[in-house]
């Protein structure tokens, strides 16, 4: 019997799938993955923010104001880091936005092999806390972030945030 992609398991009489999930079958209209490349120059930071903001609006992704501001701040920090620290070995960077039914993932990829770590707060320094800020925004929203090496020897830094607030009990 063909399970039509629903996996093995018992079926109700008549072969129909009875589910308490009210979500329509298939992906939601806003689900998908979008990727664009941009030069590793300062002007790319506001351009990437605008591109991500416009994409989320055009796709109808249900982001709250707080989530939207957090996502755009993450885009700014990750693209700024790539421009400041990777441009020498990576003249272009890639920005990816992936949206699922309940989450949004922002990733920035470059070809520089250095894997940064989030610095702790140092009040004597005026910079260097972008990844710490990204980590805290993601954590506070109930998401996460990480840095991974790519097959080409570069890295991708990503943050994922839930679309809906996480209830803390």
pLDDT for 84-123, tens place per residue?
Answer: 999 999 999 999 999 999 999 999 999 999 877 655 555 5
Mean pLDDT of 133-139: 94
Q: Which residues contact 57 (CB under 8 A, 6 or more apart)?
A: none
Q: Is the pLDDT of residue 15 over 70?
A: no
Distance between CA 112 and CA 92 in Å, rounded? 11
Q: Which residues contact 79 (CB under 8 A, 6 or more apart)?
A: 38, 44, 45, 48, 49, 93, 95, 108
How crowded is residue 159: how many other Cβ atoms within 10 Å of its Cβ? 26
Question: Given this model, what pLDDT does residue 100 score?
Answer: 96
Question: Given this model, what pLDDT does residue 69 score?
Answer: 96
pLDDT for 34-66, tens place per residue?
Answer: 999 999 999 999 999 999 999 999 999 999 999
What six digits make up the tokens of 157?
């830094």
pTM reported for the whole predicted model: 0.79
């Amino acid at each position: 019997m063909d399970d039509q992609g629903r996996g093995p398991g018992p079926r109700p009489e008549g072969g129909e799938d009875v589910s308490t999930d009210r979500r329509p079958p298939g992906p939601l209209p806003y689900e998908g993955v979008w990727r664009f490349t941009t030069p590793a120059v300062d002007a790319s930071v506001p351009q990437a923010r605008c591109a991500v903001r416009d994409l989320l609006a055009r796709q109808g992704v249900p982001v709250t104001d707080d989530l939207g501001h957090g996502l755009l701040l993450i885009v700014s920090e990750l693209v700024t880091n790539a421009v400041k620290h990777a441009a020498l070995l990576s003249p272009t960077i890639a920005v990816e936005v992936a949206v699922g039914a309940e989450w949004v993932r922002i990733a920035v990829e470059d070809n520089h092999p250095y894997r940064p770590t989030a610095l702790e707060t140092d009040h004597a320094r005026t910079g260097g806390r972008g990844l710490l800020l990204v980590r805290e925004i993601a954590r506070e929203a109930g998401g996460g972030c990480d840095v991974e090496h790519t097959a080409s020897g570069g890295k991708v830094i990503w943050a994922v945030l839930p679309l809906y607030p996480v209830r803390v009990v």
